[in-house]
A = this chain, B = another copy of it.
């Protein structure tokens, strides 16, 4: 993509559009055909084709009449938006079921993420294998070494809500720039640190709401 084109991209994408763009990308990565129409995307995601077309104006992608969008450049544009071309090494703290599920998650590679270490302080878990990774003791020494060696910026918090803030503090103190938090608790982080809370139960609230309305 040329710089000229880059400059024409609106600087701020509205949050709802941004969230939908993620969904489009997930969908496109699953597609096997070469073209897809806005109707095709819309139907699968339960939104309107107009919405799809409007969202794609933010990434300078235009469809061709009767053919639709050419999928490879669309994936490229979205990948660039989400920084997927850059592979980010991440570390996971907490080798319980959720941490283990993430450590073994096959889809990370497609979105430019690689899990390089998983930590726990439970002696029963330390040394056991989760996928291809052996669980490391959660010590500042180990953390420092891994963060430095793999240039890790992103730390994933998969511990209990009681331990999450302490883990966050330790990660930030040792150089982590972004926290991806799965613990159901609101964390405090210093200015400049990116914090993204991932509540894995939000979907069921939508379901309950929709079932109630029926």
Partner-B contacts on A (CB < 8 A) = 15-16, 18-19, 22-23, 25-27, 30, 44, 46, 81-84, 86, 88, 90, 96-98, 100-102, 104-105, 107-108, 111-113, 153-154, 177-178, 180, 184-186, 194-212
Contact = CB atoms under 8 A, between A and B. Distances in A.
B212 A83 contact: yes
Given A86-B212, A111-B205, A180-B203, A186 B30 contact: yes
Contact of A178 (B102, B154, B211): B211
A81 B177 CA distance: 36
Given A97-B104, A208-B82, A196 B186 contact: no
Contact of A207 (B15, B101, B178): B178
B16 A209 contact: no
A18 B108 contact: no
The 8 closest A-B pairs by CB, nearest first: A97-B101, A83-B212, A83-B208, A198-B203, A98-B101, A196-B203, A97-B100, A16-B16
Contacts of A86: 208, 212
A44 B178 contact: no
Given A97-B101, A98-B101, A202 B154 contact: no
Contacts of A22: 199, 202, 205-206
Contacts of A23: 199
Nearest to A45: B186
B88 A211 contact: yes
- Most B Cβ at <10 Å: residue of A104, A108, A206: A206
6 contacts: A97-B97, A111-B208, A154-B204, A154-B211, A198-B202, A200-B200
B211 A26 contact: no
Contacts of A44: 186
A208 to B, nearest CB: 4
A97 to B, nearest CB: 4
Contacts of A206: 18, 22, 196
B16 A201 contact: no
